[in-house]
């Protein structure tokens, strides 16, 4: 009789534990959508695009100057001595190398700034998401891009977006 009692207790607790796991809610959110459509994310994107545009504009002007200088050197090739020509070509190559280094540095800086801004964005929205999860008794939140298929009722992206926009007007 005690064996049946032990088996019953084991089955009862196993069922109770499975039921408690089943009560945990799993939802998903589209973080890219939040970033691109929230007021905070739009501001960050606007600033990043502005910086990027300014960098491109500056680089295009410098590139145009280098091309003009190269054309001038080509036009004077037959007029000046070989030594002068080689000297001018050498200086142009140095300017081109400097230009390429500057271009690489600007690209690296904009990528670092982008990473930093993404991190700041997610640091700011994380408490909002945590508070929503606690309020709605959500046990697990998964990024939408990692979901193969799921019920649309488990997508809380719009709810989170509204909360973010309320906090960061």
To the nearest 10 degrees (0 to 180), the angle between helices 82-135 and 39-75 is 170
Distance CA 131, CA 63 (A): 51
Instruction: Tell me what pLDDT residue 18 has.
Output: 45
Percent of the chain with pLDDT over 70: 86
pLDDT at 153 over 60: yes
Instruction: Tell me what pLDDT residue 5 has.
Output: 56
Instruction: Tell me what pLDDT residue 3 has.
Output: 61
The model carries a pTM of: 0.72
pLDDT at 126 over 90: yes
**CB contact at 8 A, 136 and 9:** no
Task: Summarize pLDDT for 61-81 with one digit per residue, the tens.
Answer: 999 999 999 999 888 888 888
pLDDT at 88 over 80: yes
Q: Which residue has the tokens 């959110």?
A: 29
- Check residues 79 and 108 and name the one with the higher pLDDT: 108
**Average pLDDT for 110-118:** 94
pLDDT at 50 over 70: yes
Task: Summarize pLDDT for 23-48 with one digit per residue, the tens.
Answer: 678 899 999 999 999 999 999 999 99
Write out 40-52 in H/E/C secondary structure: HHHHHHHHHHHHH
Confidence of residue 148 (pLDDT cuts 50, 70, 90): confident
Percent of the chain with pLDDT over 90: 64
Which one, of 106, 142, 111, 117, lies nearest residue 42 by Cα?
117
Helix (H) or strand (E) holding 150: none
Distance CA 119, CA 108 (A): 17
Per-chain mean pLDDT for the chain: 86
To the nearest 10 degrees (0 to 180), the angle between helices 157-167 and 39-75 is 80
């Amino acid at each position: 009789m005690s064996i049946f009692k032990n088996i019953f207790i084991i089955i009862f607790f196993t069922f109770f534990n499975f039921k408690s796991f089943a009560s945990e809610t799993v939802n998903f959110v589209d973080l890219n959508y939040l970033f691109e459509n929230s007021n905070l994310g739009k501001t960050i994107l606007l600033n990043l695009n502005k910086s990027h545009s300014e960098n491109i504009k500056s680089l295009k002007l410098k590139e145009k100057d280098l091309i003009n200088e190269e054309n001038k050197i080509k036009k004077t090739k037959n007029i000046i001595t070989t030594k002068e020509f080689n000297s001018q070509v050498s200086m142009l190559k140095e300017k081109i190398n400097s230009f390429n280094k500057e271009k690489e540095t600007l690209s690296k800086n904009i990528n670092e700034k982008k990473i930093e801004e993404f991190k700041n964005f997610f640091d700011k929205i994380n408490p909002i998401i945590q508070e929503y999860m606690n309020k709605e008794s959500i046990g697990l939140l998964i990024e939408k891009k990692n979901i193969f298929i799921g019920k649309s009722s488990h997508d809380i992206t719009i709810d989170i977006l509204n909360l973010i926009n309320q906090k960061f007007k």
